[in-house]
Amino acid sequence: MITQSLGGSYTVLVNGNMVRIDGKDADAIGKTVTPAGKDENVDHKGPVDRQKVWDRMKSCYDPEIPVNIVDLGLVYDCDIKPLEQGNRVEVKMTLTAPGCGMGDTIRRDVESKIKEVPGVTEVDVQLVWEPQWNQSMMSEAAKLQLGLM
């Protein structure tokens, strides 16, 4: 059963276990394949548009919550550091609960989507636990979408 289909991927429930299916593998569940977003012809060594990095992070979702991770308030910091060739993006983010079994999946999703941004050659996404996430960190739009307002 598909429980969520946001951000170009699918979350499916199989025998009580949640599994994330990338858009490029969507044909495995009878859906249309979503091609990878990175254009190999783009110069990935130039400057990075910070807004594009944040936009890509907004296409990442917690598999159990239909709100992107930025509006959920899970992203604490995003730093872009120029390298000799290209740029390194360093992200500090958290999860809604420390025991979330999908944490590494979400982290990898953020990493792969940021790598699609022109100028990005390296990405480091770190899961941090301080400060501990709470609902007050959510945007007004996220609260409204989840019926918390």
Taking the C-alpha atoms of residue 43 and residue 59, their distance in angstroms, rounded to an integer, is: 22
Q: Are 73 and 34 in contact (CB under 8 A)?
A: no
Give the bridge partners for 26, in sequence order.
none
Indicate the pTM of the whole model: 0.79
Distance set, CA 136 to CA 70, 148, 149 (Å): 13, 10, 11
Q: Return per-residue pLDDT of the chain as tens, 149 residues.
A: 877 777 777 877 788 877 777 778 878 888 888 766 555 545 666 789 999 999 999 999 988 888 999 999 999 999 999 999 999 999 999 999 988 888 898 999 999 999 999 999 999 999 999 999 999 999 999 999 899 87
Give me the CATH code for the 40-145 domain, please. 3.30.300.130
Going from N- to C-terminal start, the domains of the chain cover 1-35, 40-145
Q: How far apart are CA 149 and CA 147, in angstroms?
A: 6
